[in-house]
Amino acid sequence: MNALRYVFVTCVVGSVWSSTSTAQQPALSGVYAREGAALAVLEGDEQTIIQYESTFPQGQSTGACECTFSVRQKKAPGTWVLASVQPERIWTLTVESGRLKLKGPGTGCCGAGWKGQDSFARPSTQVLTACKAKGTRVRLQPLEGAAGSGPSVAAGDAVQVFASVPPPDLVPARVVQGGAALVGLVRYSDLECPEPGREAGADVKWLAGRWVQVRTEGKGYVIEKYCDSATPSLLLKSDGALVVDFGQESVEGTVTAVKPGEAGASTLEVAYEGGTRETLQWTVVDSKRNVVRLKGGTDYFRQGELYVRDNARKGIPVRAEACDEAE
């Protein structure tokens, strides 16, 4: 879930400015999304920026990628060599008729456990966010350059960007000036962008409420209490608004669709902040104790997590972790 935001290391690399060639709307510019990941392509006349964000299983937790590349070379047929801060470690993007395939070592901007490749269907493209420059000192800066070293952007000029939620200080951007398409980084605070709206949610009144994570203990259940984090929980509102609390961090999303199944099971389509999505199975595993299992996707819920409705937790013991006195 990109929308699951962790501490990222960004691979930032060189850029070349163009001011001479004729700008055309690039066929690949846009955002390609799948469950738990997004790939943004911003093509200029002589430079292309690739932004890759994803989450992936990392032991018992979840790792994350946030990588920014420039295209060093476009080889035939359809292989792009991407520039990174570690030139001896090659990343590539293969452009096929119906799919984009990213391959690389993951070192630096992903970390241990990344599978080394990812792919996105080309029909899944979304447009870049349309913003406008504000103020008088807005500049589109090259990836390797100092702030303010790129061409200026006039107040009111259209700027296309890719920005996750919440947006970082600098976002990849594309601007058309005098017939030339330029790409680079711009400060998000220098832009007027539409407020990221929450998708329309599904009616989930029968599932709504606060749910607390439990573990199985013999023939019953136990609620874990940790020293350095809260007990993980879910908050689901009747209009589909969802907050997943991992204990130390949380992510917001929306249940956009529900498909009822048999014996208390439901399939939930969930959209998270930042554009990532996943399909989860909501299954009642113990109707007497009001315990459900949420399972699906490729990240936190991939193995299935158990939750009890908060107002039905009475009688379930709490097991407190042994903490140092300093804690």
Got the DSSP string for 29-93?
A: -EEEEETTEEEEEEE-SS-EEEEEEEEEEETTEEEEEEEEEEEEEEETTTEEEEE-S-TTS-EEE
Same domain, 114 and 248: no
Report CA 6 to chain centroid distance, whole Å.
10
pLDDT of the residue at 122: 84
CA–CA separation, 49 and 30 (whole Å): 11
If one counts the domains in the chain, the total is: 2
CA–CA separation, 39 and 118 (whole Å): 10
Report CA 307 to chain centroid distance, whole Å.
24
**Tens-digit pLDDT profile for residues 167-226:** 888 899 999 888 888 999 999 999 998 776 666 778 888 899 999 999 999 999 999 999
Domain membership flag for residue 284: yes
Domain membership flag for residue 177: yes
Domain membership flag for residue 8: no
CA–CA separation, 289 and 292 (whole Å): 9
Domain membership flag for residue 22: no
Same domain, 152 and 256: no
Domain membership flag for residue 311: yes
Domain boundary among the residues 134, 157, 192 is at 192
pTM, 2 dp: 0.59
pLDDT of the residue at 164: 79
**Tens-digit pLDDT profile for residues 38-83:** 999 999 887 899 999 988 877 767 788 888 898 988 887 789 999 8
Instruction: Kindly report the CATH number assigned to the domain that includes residue 223.
Output: 2.40.128
pLDDT of the residue at 167: 82
Same domain, 164 and 214: no
Report CA 149 to chain centroid distance, whole Å.
29
Domain boundary among the residues 192, 218, 252 is at 192
Same domain, 220 and 156: no
Domain membership flag for residue 254: yes
Same domain, 188 and 214: no
Same domain, 142 and 229: no
Same domain, 133 and 214: no
Which residues lie below 8 Å from residue 67, measured CB to CB, with a gap of 6+? Answer: 10, 11, 50, 51, 52, 53, 84, 91, 104, 108, 109, 110
Same domain, 75 and 186: yes
- Token readout for 131 is 């913003």
Same domain, 247 and 285: yes
The range of the structural domain enclosing residue 52 comes to: 30-192
Q: Who wins on pLDDT, 288 or 264?
A: 288
Same domain, 171 and 249: no
Please report which confidence band the pLDDT of residue 27 belongs to, taking 50, 70 and 90 as the band edges: low
Check pLDDT > 90 for residue 319: yes
Strand partners, 267: 259, 281
Share of the chain above pLDDT 90, in %: 34
Check pLDDT > 70 for residue 101: yes
Same domain, 299 and 173: no
Domain membership flag for residue 169: yes
Check pLDDT > 80 for residue 288: yes
Q: Who wins on pLDDT, 233 or 15?
A: 233
**Tens-digit pLDDT profile for residues 102-144:** 998 866 788 788 888 999 998 767 888 889 999 777 888 877 6
Domain membership flag for residue 253: yes
Check pLDDT > 70 for residue 2: no
Same domain, 71 and 101: yes
Domain boundary among the residues 128, 161, 192 is at 192
